[in-house]
Amino acid sequence: MPKKSVRRTMLTHRRSLTAAQFRSASILIQDALMETAEYRRARFLALYAPIHNEVDTAKIAAAALASGKRVAFPVVAGHGLVFREVEELASLQKGAFGILEPCQSCMVFEPEEVDLFILPGVAFDLTGHRIGYGKGYYDKTLHRLEGQGRFVGLCYDFQLIDAIAGESHDVRMDMVVTEKRIVRRTEP
C-alpha cells in the first residue's frame, strides 16, 4: 500500500480513538518504554509533544526529569529540527503547526548529544521503517545518527504493520513500543 494511503488510513483510525482509549494505551506504552534497558541507560532524552491523538509522552518526561535525566523537545527550524532542553514541562508553548515546543530561551543541543530519541509516527513496520506526516523533519535532522541504537518509535499496536516501503532517506527506528509489544529492529 502506498505511503499516502497508509498515512490516510492510520490518521483516520488514530483520530477516532476515544479519550479513554488514548489515555489507557498511552500509559501502557510509556510504562513499557520506561522498563527498557535503553530508557534506563539514557541520560539525555529527546521527546515529542503529541498532536492528533499521538501517544502521549508527558509521563515519560515527568519521570525522566524527576530522576535527573535531561529532556529536550524538537523545534522546527527551516527544513529540519533543533532540540531544546527543558527543565520543566511548563516551559513548552505552542509553536509551529500548533505543536508545543520549548521557548526560545531554552538551550539548544546538537542531536549527537542526545542518548535516546523518542519519535512519533503515523505508522511503523517490523523492521523499523516509519511513516511520518510527510515533511521529513526528523529524517533530515537525524539521518546521520541512524544505526546507533538511539531511535524509538511510540505508536498504538494498530499502527505497527508488517512492511512499509522505505526510502533511502528514511530514518529507521531501532525499537518500536506499542501497548501490546516491543519490537526491536531487524534487517533488512
> Which contacts qualify for 2-6: CB closer than 8 Å, 24 or more apart?
2/165, 3/131, 3/134, 3/164, 3/165, 6/122, 6/123, 6/131, 6/161, 6/164
C-alpha distances in angstroms, 146 versus 59, 155, 160?
A: 26, 19, 20
Q: Which residue has the higher pLDDT, 127 or 97?
A: 127
Mean pLDDT to the nearest integer, 122-140: 90
Contacts of 51 (CB under 8 A, 6+ apart): 97, 98, 99
> What is the rounded CA–CA span in Å between residue 83 and residue 73?
5
DSSP 8-state symbol, 138: H
φ, ψ of residue 126 in degrees (nearest 5): -70, -15
Question: How large a percentage of the chain has pLDDT more than 70?
Answer: 98
Residue 188 has pLDDT above 60, yes or no: no
With contact defined as beta carbons under 8 Å apart, do 106 and 99 qualify? no
DSSP 8-state symbol, 164: -
Mean pLDDT to the nearest integer, 10-39: 96
Each residue of 52-100: pLDDT tens digit?
Answer: 999 999 999 999 999 999 999 999 888 889 999 999 998 899 987 789 9
pLDDT for 33 = 98
Q: Is 137 helix (H, G, I), strand (E, B) or coil?
A: helix
Domains assigned to the chain: 3-184 (3.40.50.10420)
Query: What's the predicted TM-score (pTM) here?
Result: 0.93
Q: Which residue has the higher pLDDT, 129 or 97?
A: 129
Mean pLDDT to the nearest integer, 100-112: 92
With contact defined as beta carbons under 8 Å apart, do 131 and 159 qualify? no
pLDDT for 78 = 85
pLDDT for 185 = 85
Q: How confident is the model at residue 187 (pLDDT cuts 50, 70, 90)?
A: low
Residues, the chain = 188
